[in-house]
Structure 1
């Protein structure tokens, strides 16, 4: 058995009542770790660089071991880019390489760049047309119930690559779950942390990290999931929000 421990934090009240999203985090842990983890996530919400949360929600639910699926963590590649403009050009090229049309890749990039504030979840766009498929407005689709199958091993592997930070660890776990989703072609993301400018494109081809996908100091970030034409969007959303997944290092090469 596992516990799914989820934190959502906002400023100005509950998200549902219009509060501004501050922070969120997801873990899937053995029963003995749940209480301590809940406390750690509250501390994280209270010290986030986007501001001090005044609404924090912690949800703890049991997950049967037999309900958990495994998903491989994509291999990581870091692309050195001089600035945001170069980073976004390189990210567009990687999206097209992964199977997203040029028009859809541009639509996804433009949608993230135009956000007035960070979304709680991700947009789902058609990988061919670029049209939005999820219909969830500013809420988007929140990926939930996930963790690394072996957290210490993942941290050690990231440390060897000079990437041992929470941003990369959590993004890799999420990217592993998303890439294994039914109908997913690729993912585009950059962080809402004002001090973190990196972003990535992830797909079954790997996790391609770009040093600059937004300007330093910008508090707006988000995600776009590109889905294949004809994808069962309801089934994809159900998988992303409800299917428990542990991300494994099985396919990594040292």
Structure 2
């Protein structure tokens, strides 16, 4: 098994990224990732990094994906109210949710911010954030999502992240895309992956926040988010 990761940037600013875990067809995947980097709506990169790493199949954790639910909203205000309601059910208060929305609306981070329930930011690098890496979905799950119109290619990528972080003990995830034209965001909790349309407006920035318990072992969590390989089925 091989982990393949792509990261593209311009003048040091993150433009796009992608990754997967496969058992073959390395050249095909690399070509697809390079094409994605060169045609991204956020701009043309001056740097593309491709990393290919062999994995021990015994180190890979296989988990079922979170239930996928789509909530259609007519505007950003309605979408964010619904997002708050979902997060409130997980014990996350409105002040903390507003702080999280400010973080994602500011954009510019390559990874996620981590907030505990006291509102403390726990990621060591506030500009970079934490990247969830070594993840993939099975071909069967990807086909199910795309052929049944459950979501898009972005949904396939996001469900891998969301399922892994919730499995590792994150209470909830709030995410909007850094793709300027893509306005659907999501909330992930133990109850599911909630796709919410119009969670941001077009041209607005995006980002990702993980909500965690106050007593969490943050070093262990970050290590597993970045290094432990997961395949979501």
- TM-score band, normalised by the shorter chain? over 0.9
Q: CA deviation at 1:71?
A: 2.3
Instruction: Choose which of 21, 27, 40 in structure 2 pairs with 1:48.
Output: 40
Instruction: Choose which of 138, 142, 146 in structure 2 pairs with 1:155.
Output: 142
The match for 1:85 is 77
- 2:73 is paired with a residue whose SS is coil
Normalised by the length of structure 1, the TM-score is 0.88
- 1:184 is paired with a residue whose SS is coil
Q: Does 1:133 align with 2:126?
A: no
**Distance (Å, rounded) in 1 between the aligned partners of 2:62 and 2:97:** 28
Normalised by the length of structure 2, the TM-score is 0.95
Q: CA deviation at 1:155?
A: 2.8
The match for 1:7 is 6
Q: CA deviation at 1:101?
A: 2.9
Instruction: Choose which of 38, 48, 60 in structure 1 pairs with 2:52.
Output: 60
Deviations 1:18-41 (A, max 9, x none): x111000110111x2222211110
* Structure 1 gap segments, 5+ residues each: 13-18, 249-254
Deviations 1:195-254 (A, max 9, x none): 110000001110111101111123x21100011110000000001000000112xxxxxx
Q: CA deviation at 1:54?
A: 1.0
Deviating runs (4+, > 4 A) in structure 1?
A: none
- Relative to structure 2, which stretch is displaced further, 239-248 or 100-109? 100-109
1:113-124 to 2 correspondence within 5 Å?
113=105, 115=106, 117-124=107-114
**Distance (Å, rounded) in 1 between the aligned partners of 2:129 and 2:153:** 23
**Distance (Å, rounded) in 2 between the aligned partners of 1:51 and 1:160:** 29
Alignment length, in residue pairs? 233
**Distance (Å, rounded) in 2 between the aligned partners of 1:156 and 1:68:** 21
Q: CA deviation at 1:157?
A: 2.2
**Kept in 2: contact 1:104–1:131 (CA 8 A):** no
- 2:25 is paired with a residue whose SS is helix
Structure 2 CA distance for partners of 1:131 and 1:197, relative to 1, 3 Å: same
The match for 1:173 is 160
**Distance (Å, rounded) in 2 between the aligned partners of 1:53 and 1:176:** 29
The match for 2:135 is 146
Instruction: Choose which of 17, 42, 47 in structure 2 pairs with 1:24.
Output: 17
**Kept in 2: contact 1:123–1:132 (CA 8 A):** yes
Instruction: Choose which of 100, 107, 111 in structure 1 pairs with 2:92.
Output: 100
